[in-house]
Amino acid sequence: PRRIVIDTDPGQDDAVAILLALASPELAVEAITTVAGNVPVALTTKNACVLLELTGRTDIPVFAGAARPLHRAPISAEHVHGETGMAGADLPEPTLRPQAIDAATHLVDLLRREPEGTITLVCLGPMTNLALALTHAPDIAPRIAGIVAMGGAQREGGNITPTAEFNFFVDPHAARIVMRSGIPITLLPLDVTHRAIATPARLKPIAAVGSPVTDMVVRMLGAEDRFEKFKYGWEGGALHDPLTIGFLLWPELFSGLRCNVEIEVDAPLCVGQSVVDLWNVTNRVPNALWVNDVEADAFYSLLTERLALLV
């Protein structure tokens, strides 16, 4: 199996991404590292522990990461994910605790210890942990097999400002460090995640499984008061982060193009914007696979099959 570390801020859609990874024999989850994003890091860490307990995977270590972005003040998204970060999950307090060392330190240790090119990073939140690791230990960059990240927006516009997607907006400096690192990176921006909305028709087969895991997923994603319904007038919520795992498992469902992506950090109206050189109008070297479409119904069928494998 492909060995991955999931860097995440659970987060309702992060939770589904983690569950999909745990349900997939093609992937070995080596660790979960947490970061402040949707909710403060104490809660994202607790939520990661809750999910591992629910699925009986307490063998996977959790490392708590950055409590705040590199240079900017923290911003969270309780308006989307609820006060706990996983509204609707309603799970008991976990007994699992994070490891003693922090996320960035663990990333450096792991990447130096394991053979070059064997660890893939899946980034589902602000990229603060990875940026800290790369800054302290630039030698890890060529050791990373690749990064698959949810972040950015171009065709769709932003979801937290008119121009910026949440993960890149929260820590644009971190995103810039990662985008300039030379590590092979695949981005799943809003341009693709907005094509995979969790509509009632797509949630119905998940609900029909009727397991504790799928019941929780449906409670989180199916809430009548979901923010996207009011905000965008959609039939259901976006399911951003699971597309990263979906891309690792079923790349044939996705399409995109290789291009240069830079992150704006200064311009007040555009902080966190992913500036995507779709037409190669600069001479900047392509640094990302910019994914912009998915066969969404096929993705949901496969997601449903996999979630049904969990308790």
Residues near ligand BDR, by CB under 6 A: 11, 13-14, 38, 77, 80, 124-125, 150, 159, 165-167, 240-241
Q: Which of 81, 106, 194, 240 is catalytic?
A: 240
Pick what 165 binds: ligand BDR, Ca ion, none; C-beta below 5 to 8 Å, kind-dependent. Answer: ligand BDR
Which three-class secondary structure state does DSSP give residue 147? strand
Our CB check for Ca ion shows the closer of 7 and 264 to be 7
Residue 305 C-beta: closest distance to ligand BDR, Å: 23
Q: Is 173 a catalytic residue?
A: no
Which three-class secondary structure state does DSSP give residue 277? strand
Our CB check for ligand BDR shows the closer of 35 and 310 to be 35
Residue 38 C-beta: closest distance to Ca ion, Å: 6
Instruction: Report d(CA 156, CA 243) in Å as an integer.
Output: 16
Q: Of 247, 257, 261, which is closest to residue 296 (Cα–Cα)?
A: 247
Beta bridge partners of 7: 33, 123
Using N-to-C axis directions, what is the helix angle for 128-136 and 103-113, rounded to 10°? 60
Sign of CA dihedral 249, 310, 14, 207: positive
Q: Which residue is nearest to ligand BDR (CB)?
A: 166
Our CB check for ligand BDR shows the closer of 121 and 140 to be 121
Our CB check for ligand BDR shows the closer of 36 and 140 to be 36
Whole-angstrom CA distances from 142 to 4, 108, 145, 151 are 16, 12, 8, 22
Say which DSSP state 130 is in.
Answer: H
Residue 61 C-beta: closest distance to ligand BDR, Å: 22
Residue 246 C-beta: closest distance to ligand BDR, Å: 14
Which residues have a catalytic role annotated?
A: 240
